[in-house]
Structure 1
């Protein structure tokens, strides 16, 4: 009898383990949200979600859609002022809850450079503000990372040629309808012979801005952050803990801490800022990340942090508390490019569709 009882327990244990699968918990189903356009950017606005979309073949290609907590979708009219504004793909959209600011771009011209457009407005509509060609283009121009709204000012972040070589990280501030580039010389944003900076993503942090990316220094690629204390002033540079070459590629910040995601030696890496110190999260599951990939920003959860990655066409959600849990996702296929949480709901762009899931299902 005892032998039979032990055998029954063993069989039940094996069946339960088989249901979970060798890769972790039972797969989680995501829900597709149909939109009039392909989503590109996600921006929380209170309890609503602002989705930047691209519409091929429409009179106005860039569009903004606002999805309220009940699921109703309304359009925020976007009015271009230039031919390239009419073709722009959103790079980043940000808000202080009242004003909306956006940056978009589309390649064109004889050299195929990105032609940038700057937009602002409210929930009633955004308008492209025509800029002189030399504002974001011409000799010495680099790329734009996006736009960040701080308590004191909105700012555009990108890079611009350093007079002695390489590119500085650059910032622009609005003066009327014009965006004016601010000097980087003498700040932590300046390039030098010892360290060449490459910003990749930016977001608000406290009263300032957190920029993540990498620098070429000491003969290798090093993940780095740049943080301003107020608006675009008081910049400091902080190399991230890195046992191997790599870069920080996306970032999410709350009022008191930040998470950054990136790559080290071609594999996924995540860092956490608490107080004044960044730490590398240990034992991160091994997923390949290249310099051509786009990593969604990490999503804080009530018990840790969530990172979306893809394995082939299969979406995975990696949840870190004190250890890692790997969830396989059913529904979406393709690569994730954006993710945010509003209350208990995760919103993600995977491929060219918007998907949602409840965070409780991803613990």
Structure 2
């Protein structure tokens, strides 16, 4: 080996070492969770353990991970043809209750035929709704299911009386769901501002909806927060020329949002009484159709897991700044993220797989 080759080798080793330090040291280990043969995970929910909404043999299924990490089937009872072939769009759990949204395309126009599922770990059933509840001329999408402080909510969109679509909320009376009148509230679109919902989560005082607003100043990331039964809308700061808030999670006193600004990953935090964009987030390209998981609220801050090309990173956010760490073996895109004790679980990859990240939060 020549002197030049030795120098190049030393420099390369130093670069690798420095890169490892910048990314938070050694890679976070990951363990693949073996699901039943043919199962493709679609959504996750935090429960007494972890709930996994999956699809197998062109039918929906629901699994609960036992304390030892083994998947146990939760009986699922479809009531319609579209429910029997649905994919999972949303899943949430609280206090032993489970609420989910499924959908499958059909009919002359290929629209999504929505199904609502409720139950507990002993079994979850589709609750049949009138066609006009989620379908018809004014129908939009369903994007989220939330156990809010005032009761369960479904969130999506519906034809606006003024312009475009409104952000729409459905509430339940027993097993029957109905739309809320959003006229005159921040959920309603106007001739100057169009509202678009992407996802929803529980928040202190109610619920939080993520999405964007389109108007004369362009496309801005926005969140709608339910407080005491009324709604407030906030345009997230530093939203660039084209921004969108894609997914969120809240704790008792704060929230974290993941989104896209001008084609790059963006993160925001709500702490105290205001939103702020997180500085120092890695410059990660994010395509328009690329899925994004909701960040976790952790002690002292938040944690997000994102695909950066073929790699996957854990991005830790605290008042002291942002640090990143590579996650071994897992490949993108990242579709869902939940916590279970000190462990985190993610759905990632193509085809999608379920991974356990042991002691990531410990």
Query: TM-score, structure 2 length as denominator?
Result: 0.90
The answer for the alignment partner of 1:33 in structure 2 is: 33
Q: Secondary structure at the match of 2:84?
A: helix
**Which residue of 231, 234, 242 maps to 1:235?**
231
Q: For 1:24-103, list aligned pairs within 5 A.
A: 24=23, 25-36=25-36, 37-46=39-48, 48-57=49-58, 61-103=59-101
Residue in 1 that maps onto 2:194: 196
Aligned counterpart, 1:8: none
Deviations 1:158-207 (A, max 9, x none): 11001222111111111232211110101110100121000111001123
Distance apart, 1:14 and its partner CA: 8.7
1:4: which partner in 2? none
Q: 1:301 and 1:208 mapped to 2: Cα distance?
A: 20
Q: Deviations over 1:54-99 (max 9, x none)?
A: 1124xxx111111122223221111101111011111111222222
Asked whether the 8 Å contact 2:221–2:239 carries over to 1, the reply is no
SS of the equivalent of 2:230 reads: coil
Cα distance in 2 for partners of 1:15, 1:291 equals 36
Q: How do residues 309-328 of structure 1 correspond to structure 2 at under 5 angstroms? A: 309-321=306-318, 322-328=320-326
Aligned length: 346
- What is the CA-CA distance between 1:12 and the residue it aligns to? 10
> Quick check: 1:270 aligned with 2:272?
no
Quote the Cα distance in structure 2 between the aligned partners of 1:359 and 1:324: 19
Q: Provide the C-alpha distance between the structure 2 equivalents of 1:33 and 1:301, rounded to a whole number of angstroms.
A: 23
Match of 1:214 in 2: 212
Structure-1 separation of matches of 2:222 and 2:215: 11
Q: State the shift of 1:151 in Å.
A: 3.0
Q: Find 1:251's aligned residue among 241, 248, 252.
A: 248
Q: Distance in 2 between matches of 1:325 and 1:270?
A: 13
Q: CA deviation at 1:339?
A: 0.4
3-state SS, counterpart of residue 84 of structure 1: helix
5+ residue gaps, structure 2, are 1-8
In the alignment, the residues of structure 2 paired with residue 359 and residue 258 of structure 1 have an alpha-carbon distance, to the nearest angstrom, of 22
- Residues 115-168 of structure 1: CA distance to partner in whole angstroms, max 9, x if unpaired? 100111111101101111111011011101121112331111011001222111
Aligned Cα RMSD in Å?
2.1
Aligned residue number for residue 328 of structure 2: 330
More moved, 314-323 vs 208-217: 314-323
The structural deviation recorded for 1:297 is 0.5
| Partner SS, residue 329 of structure 2 | strand
Contact 2:220 2:239 in 1 (8 A): no
Secondary structure at the counterpart of residue 111 of structure 1: coil
- Normalization by structure 1: what TM-score? 0.90
8 Å Cα contact 1:96/1:150 also seen in 2: no
Please, which moves more after superposition, 76-85 or 295-304?
Answer: 295-304
Does the residue aligned with 2:187 lie in a helix, a strand or coil? coil
C-alpha displacement at 1:304, in angstroms? 2.9
| Secondary structure in 2 matching 1:189 | coil
Instruction: Please give the secondary structure, in 2, of the residue aligned with 1:286.
Output: coil
> How big is the shift at 1:243?
4.7
Specify whether residues 82 and 74 from structure 1 end up closer, same or farther in structure 2 by C-alpha distance, changes over 3 A only.
same
Tell me whether 24-33 or 336-345 shows the greater mean CA deviation: 24-33
State the partner residue of 1:143.
141
Structure 1, unmatched stretches of 5+, are: 1-10
* CA contact 2:171–2:179 (8 Å) conserved in 1: yes
Match of 1:261 among 258, 275, 282: 258
SS at match of 1:228: strand
For 1:134, the equivalent position in structure 2 comes to 132
- Which stretch of the first structure deviates more once superposed, 169-178 or 302-311? 302-311
Superposed CA deviations along residues 198-252 of structure 1, whole A, max 9, x for unmatched, are 011100112301001101023300011101114xx21111111025120110001
